[in-house]
Amino acid sequence: MSQGRLEQLRSELDSVNLQLLELLSERARLAQEIGQEKQKQGVPNFDPVREKKMLDALVEHNHGPFDNETVRHLFKQIFQASLKLQQVDHKKHLLVSRKKKKEDTLIQLGDTVIGGGTPVMIAGPCSVESYEQVRQVAKALKEAGITVMRGGAFKPRTSPYDFQGLGVEGLKILKEVASEFGLKTISEIVDPAHIELACDYIDVIQIGARNMQNFELLKAAGDVKTPVLLKRGLAATIDEFVHAAEYIVSRGNTQVMLIERGIRTYEKATRNTLDISAVPILKQETHLPVLVDVTHSTGRKDILAPCARAALAAGADGVMVEVHPDPATALSDAAQQLNIPEFQDFLDNVRKSGLLPAHSLV
């Protein structure tokens, strides 16, 4: 083949490439429009029957030189790329998406704002066990300048024989103690039927890791105005986590915070694996406040402070930690809760990093 002929064929190929690109782009735009139409009608983007029909029709028209399998393979790639495009488009339309709303969602709890650029520390016992136990913690929190207290009244336990929490009695204790010390409270609700009642007692409804995809609970939490702290599921992907939040927001409750609490991996050195990378991803992809639970993620008191600093350095809007006046006798999570002096050391340590505001006594 002469050099001239090769050059000519190459230039023809270049031009076919450009035509192909134009056609592929045209096809992609059509697929996007189809995706939008499907979304309006509430039908799924991927339609395997339609895909099969398109592939069969292409093979019928195939006269080589590619064999039918190659044609199928090539077009499947094109279909897949279009589907991806539709999914990205779809994500943009999620109410929790940063693309849908640029400004950060702020959660106002009295004078405390979560998500506004000043990180918060949330602390309290794993379970509400008694009035006196909660009061001791609340007093220490108040003195340390902490404004939001956690405490579980309904406990989702692995074993039915373990302490299940004090239930509504526990919510009452939280309310009474919180009003004495001027604190805001967070407590987990596990039953959709308790959501409305919970709003009378607590300031934030926690939805626990085990219930992240309890859709009826998510919907019930979406129907009230009380802020919700949604925990990441034990084995939930970030995408599933974001969609769980969407369930709440789509019902009208825009006051949602996300909390990374560690995920299941093969690692045994910690109770779960703290996925720090989830923090910047969730901050980028959503406009919701993002917190990190250092207690349930690590399950180890000796690394709480560096993990809290890492969370804040990664952009978390707050950290949650468990504190108990006498962890050895705690009815749940005895091994991982800090006692009050340990909590004070932990707080000092994190504050010294400059990542958490110092306690001002004003």
Contacting residues toward Mn ion, per CB under 5 A: 126, 333
Q: Report what 271 binds from ligand PEP, Mn ion, none; CB cut-off 5-8 Å by kind.
A: none
Q: Report what 325 binds from ligand PEP, Mn ion, none; CB cut-off 5-8 Å by kind.
A: none
Residue nearest to ligand PEP (CB): 208
Q: Report what 202 binds from ligand PEP, Mn ion, none; CB cut-off 5-8 Å by kind.
A: none
Which lies closer to ligand PEP via its Cβ, residue 120 or residue 209?
A: 209
Which lies closer to ligand PEP via its Cβ, residue 60 or residue 161?
A: 161
Report the distance separating Cα 290 and Cα 292, nearest Å: 7
Helix 278-285 and helix 238-250, axial crossing angle in degrees, nearest 10:
40
Which lies closer to ligand PEP via its Cβ, residue 31 or residue 245?
A: 245
- C-alpha distances in Å from residue 203, one per residue of 22, 127, 134, 177, 296: 55, 17, 16, 13, 21
> DSSP secondary-structure letter at 338?
B
Min CB(337)–ligand PEP separation in Å: 11
Min CB(272)–ligand PEP separation in Å: 8
Q: Exposure string (b/e) for 69-88, b if CB count within 10 Å is 16 or more?
A: eebbeeeeeebeebbebbee
Q: Report what 275 binds from Mn ion, ligand PEP, none; CB cut-off 5-8 Å by kind.
A: none
Residues that bind ligand PEP (CB under 6 A): 126, 152, 188, 208-210, 231, 261, 293, 296
Backbone torsions φ then ψ of 40, nearest 5 degrees: -60, -40
Min CB(262)–Mn ion separation in Å: 12
Which lies closer to ligand PEP via its Cβ, residue 115 or residue 152?
A: 152
- C-alpha distances in Å from residue 268, one per residue of 19, 300, 303: 55, 11, 14
> DSSP secondary-structure letter at 303?
G
Which lies closer to Mn ion via its Cβ, residue 115 or residue 299?
A: 299
Strands (E), 181-327: 184-188, 204-207, 228-231, 256-260, 290-293, 318-322
Collapsing DSSP to helix, strand or coil, 266 comes out as coil
Q: Report what 261 binds from Mn ion, ligand PEP, none; CB cut-off 5-8 Å by kind.
A: ligand PEP
Which lies closer to Mn ion via its Cβ, residue 115 or residue 125?
A: 125
| Cβ-proximal residues to 333 (8 Å cutoff; 6+ apart), any chain | 126, 127, 295, 296, 322
Min CB(45)–Mn ion separation in Å: 39
Min CB(318)–ligand PEP separation in Å: 14
Q: Report what 209 binds from Mn ion, ligand PEP, none; CB cut-off 5-8 Å by kind.
A: ligand PEP
Min CB(275)–ligand PEP separation in Å: 13
Are the beta carbons of 128 and 170 closer than 8 angstroms?
A: yes
Q: Report what 317 binds from ligand PEP, Mn ion, none; CB cut-off 5-8 Å by kind.
A: none
Question: Please, what is the end-to-end C-alpha distance for the chain in angstroms?
Answer: 88
